[in-house]
Chain A
């Protein structure tokens, strides 16, 4: 049957099918709804609804002093919480004018790159799961557990870390943490190589993902794409290189760029970024080990007005007691002003626009969430493709609902 049977005008049967790819879906991406109009298997139109996990972060943030907003930032892109935490701390330090010592910067780089590896691992393995290959996901989750163990050693928590403080870290990295890091650096390259071998030149995977959901560079820029999705389209915009923060200019790494912006390119860009992150962690670890003596104990900036003094000083010295009181009760000097600062999060440029009016809590805090902005292009990316391509596009764009709705 090669011709469509045209139904008479006004008949109750429609030519196209409406499918609700609803908020609860089998693919573990998060909650957003797409109502698709299908002609057979081809998608003609898709309307999306988000907001199923809107938690009103921006309104909550107007009620909390700066150090209490860190747990909120954790829950934005929860696959890589340390990146969000560090981004927020860097914004606060820019507002308050705190200068961070080099060792703290290098430790921050280690944590941020571990978080980036953790995020890209989930994204790539879920692209595998959605195209039918469950093994890669199970194999690689084992190594995410290693990353979780490193976080646990430093801050106590696995997933939503709230790691670090404004001005540095809450405690120095213990020798156990460094041991776990060394174990990770030793074991992980072999695993990543094996994961690559399973997917990159796999005939089935390539057939599923090449040509699926492509986007050109101009279009991507106009849609506000940033991060690996933009780099897969051919534009090498990386916040770490453009506006280096936390001493990224001291590190030597390349920024991988793709050509067509389809799912295969995004997979390859994220894969290569994981290799680059590994190399950055190794460089940072070496640099940290070069600090000797008193410098090797530095884990926070010397700014008693904003970083809580150690408890034994609080119990014995007067100034420490006063600083502790002022910070906790919110009487510290907050400058009036507005600052916008961004970091390269797992999905792109995560920006924080903070307006402070000198009070204890921000007057306005806005999160520039990359997922929310590039999700607008989803409709265009899937039009004309098939339903299963839409699923793979969704997972290769790394849509995290927590970041989309905030």
Chain B
């Protein structure tokens, strides 16, 4: 005996991509299907160093649930994740470690820099703090704030989803991307 759904009945569902449907088959663009799958199952790697890490824990907890966007499994191994979430101040001592983690990630990979310290050094303009992680790795989305509210983090995450959706299958092999990587000294 089933009870009819009373709450949460205005959920937006992901649409099926346009294509040609027939009896038991559907023909559509490969890129659209792959993007749909990728964007709704991003596995993040929380690289939490300081205060933004606690705010990330609050985002991943049940009140501001990050799992509903597909980020259910926080992988801590770079080999198995899609999105590197850098949260907190990165000191110069930590820079090589961050770069090493980024190099170990498999393509396609995205980076979200959370918090003012990761974006640009934040309030710590001192000799020991790296003034922004984009000095060592390429960044896709910057979420400013000190710490950013969980809603801001979710907004940043949704922008990453938009980027994933629009990316296409060939970008990682293109010349532009290779130039970007060469700019950071990454093969």
Contact = CB atoms under 8 A, between A and B. Distances in A.
Does A touch B (CB under 8 Å) in the complex? Answer: yes
Interface of A: 22-26, 28, 30-31, 51-56, 59-60, 71-72, 74-75, 78-79, 122, 137-138, 141-142, 144-145, 148, 158-160, 401-402, 405
Interface stretch (B88-96, B132-140, B157-165): B88-96
Chief secondary structure at chain B's binding surface: loop
B61 interface: yes
Contacts of A72: 123
A148 B101 CA distance: 32
Nearest to A23: B97
Contacts of B47: 24
B124 A55 contact: yes
B50 A79 contact: no
A103 B62 CA distance: 36
Given A31-B49, A53-B88, A141 B62 contact: yes
Given A24-B47, A75-B51, A141-B61, A55 B91 contact: yes
Contacts of B55: 158-159
Given A122-B54, A142-B63, 20 more contacts: A28-B48, A30-B53, A31-B49, A53-B88, A55-B129, A56-B124, A56-B126, A56-B128, A59-B126, A59-B127, A60-B125, A79-B54, A138-B62, A141-B62, A142-B61, A148-B58, A158-B149, A159-B54, A401-B49, A405-B91
B91 A159 contact: no
A227 B51 CA distance: 22
Nearest to A405: B91
Contact of A52 (B54, B63, B94, B101): B94
29 contacts: A22-B97, A24-B47, A51-B91, A52-B49, A52-B93, A52-B97, A53-B88, A53-B94, A54-B93, A54-B128, A55-B128, A56-B129, A59-B127, A60-B125, A60-B126, A78-B54, A79-B54, A138-B61, A141-B61, A141-B62, A141-B63, A142-B63, A145-B58, A158-B147, A159-B54, A159-B58, A160-B51, A160-B146, A401-B49
B50 A141 contact: no
Nearest to A59: B126
A369 B58 CA distance: 25
Given A138-B61, A141-B57, A159 B51 contact: yes
Given A55-B124, A56-B126, A59-B126, A142 B62 contact: yes
Nearest to B51: A78
B147 A160 contact: yes
Interface string B57-80: 110011100000000000010000
B46 interface: yes
B56 to A, nearest CB: 8
A159 B62 CA distance: 17
Contacts of A75: 50-51
Contact of B63 (A51, A145, A160): A145
A138 B47 CA distance: 20
Contacts of A78: 50-51, 54
Contacts of B57: 28, 141
Given A75-B51, A142-B63, A28 B88 contact: no
Interface string B86-120: 00110101100100010000000000000000000
Nearest to A60: B126
Contacts of A79: 54
Contacts of B49: 30-31, 52-53, 401
A78 B147 CA distance: 11
Contacts of B46: 28
Contacts of B146: 160
A287 B54 CA distance: 33
Contacts of A54: 91, 93, 128
A33 B62 CA distance: 30
A300 to B, nearest CB: 25
A141 B58 contact: yes
A28 B53 contact: yes
